[in-house]
Amino acid sequence: MRALASRASFLAATLLMACSHEQSALAPDGGTARAIYQLFWFFTGVCMAVWLVVMAFMLAAIFRWRGSSPDPMLEPEDASERRISWVVGAGVALTVLILTIFTFASFLTNKSFAEPRPRSVTIKITGHQWWWQVNYEAHRADQTFETANEIHIPVGQPVKLDFESPDVIHSFWVPSLSGKQDLIPGRYTTLTIEADKAGIYRGQCAEFCGIQHAHMAMYVVAQASGEFAQWRAQQLQSATPPHTDQLRRGQQVFQASACAMCHSISGTNAGGRVGPDLTHFGSRMSIASGTAPNTLGNLTGWIADPQRMKPYTRMPSVALTGPDLIAVSQYLESLK
């Protein structure tokens, strides 16, 4: 009984999750996601109809068998033979027709994704074990910047994503905005996404890429174009200089410890290229690629023992004293 109740509550939670706009292919908010959604319901509807027809035939057969009429197979009659041939022939023809329609519908949906559209923003996304590097591209070098695990886009404008992977195959998937696209080492892949409404859309790596594959999430933040321009201008700035002794201490610890060997903070001498760029770390929603909300407490725990929150993460533990650990965490949170 308890198992049944827990299964029911799991099912209810799953259904409720499908309704939320956080991460669901059944809640499309962008062009290609809507096309996939319509294709999904078309396939499901037709398959349901076929299933109902098959069940109706099966019930009719069971019902007839219970009657007193003789088995038609044992006493074949010309009329019933012909009827059976008709039914089987119609069934085969209908199956071929449905499969052909499915193939065409699928082809047309796919084709619509490839149609060239003017894109306002181009972003290079690099998949790493297990986080997303995000580079905003521009014609001028001083207009480019880097961030991680959070992608801001302007609402109602197609955004081009170019993918790269230096390690293994990952797959970029934000179900409410588009279908999946693999990031394949040595191969160029691309995807155009568009959000119809402002909002926060969760995405997830959709190709098993190692032990922390499940903790390789990202957020897409769709903003009105004015807000997006504001965000962009802020991201182009160098990091906020520390303005208290405690924050200055945090910055010194960061630069003097192993942190600076892997991470960059523009405007400081931390220039590591291995881990995420932390220039505006404090403005992001999550830490460790969507593993936990970005709070001072979570961050302190993460730096103190990364393997605990995300086993096998590439981020090493850095031996820091308690006060240094707190100063570094406070400094990073101040980087808005």
**Closest of 130, 136, 118 to residue 165, by C-alpha:** 130
- In DSSP terms, which residues pair with 145 in a beta bridge? 136
Min CB(73)–ligand CUA separation in Å: 54
Min CB(164)–ligand CUA separation in Å: 13
210 phi-psi bin (left φ>0, alpha ψ -120 to 50, beta other): left
Angle at 148 between CA 244 and CA 128, to 5 degrees: 130
Using CB under 6 A as the criterion, what x/- string covers residues 277-316 for binding ligand CUA? Answer: ----------------------------------------
Under rule CB under 6 A, residue 127 binds ligand CUA: yes
Q: Which is nearer to ligand CUA, 36 or 125 (CB)?
A: 125
Quick count: other Cβ atoms within 10 Å of Cβ 191?
22
Min CB(230)–ligand CUA separation in Å: 31
Interface with ligand CUA (CB under 6 A), residue total 9
Per CB under 6 A, the list member of 25, 33, 177, 205 interacting with ligand CUA is 205
Q: Which residues contact 336 (CB under 8 A, 6 or more apart)?
A: 234, 240, 280, 282, 283
Min CB(180)–ligand CUA separation in Å: 11
- Report the distance separating Cα 169 and Cα 116, nearest Å: 26
Min CB(127)–ligand CUA separation in Å: 6
Per CB under 6 A, the list member of 213, 232, 248, 314 interacting with ligand CUA is 213
Per CB under 6 A, the list member of 152, 170, 280, 310 interacting with ligand CUA is 170
**Closest of 239, 221, 209, 77 to residue 159, by C-alpha:** 221
In which order are the strands placed within the sheet that holds 181-183?
150-154, 217-223, 199-205, 170-173, 181-183
Min CB(206)–ligand CUA separation in Å: 7
Under rule CB under 6 A, residue 207 binds ligand CUA: yes
235 touches 227 (CB < 8 A)? no
Q: Which is nearer to ligand CUA, 205 or 270 (CB)?
A: 205
217 touches 294 (CB < 8 A)? no
Under rule CB under 6 A, residue 232 binds ligand CUA: no
Tokens matching residue 80: 């019933």
Min CB(130)–ligand CUA separation in Å: 6
Per CB under 6 A, the list member of 209, 260, 287, 327 interacting with ligand CUA is 209
- Report the distance separating Cα 214 and Cα 31, nearest Å: 26
The window from 54-62, 95-103, 192-200, 208-216 that contacts ligand CUA (CB under 6 A) reads 208-216
**Closest of 223, 75, 103 to residue 157, by C-alpha:** 223
Tokens matching residue 84: 């059976």
Min CB(309)–ligand CUA separation in Å: 17
290 phi-psi bin (left φ>0, alpha ψ -120 to 50, beta other): left
Per CB under 6 A, the list member of 123, 134, 216, 278 interacting with ligand CUA is 216
Residues binding ligand CUA (CB under 6 A): 127, 130, 170, 205, 207-209, 213, 216
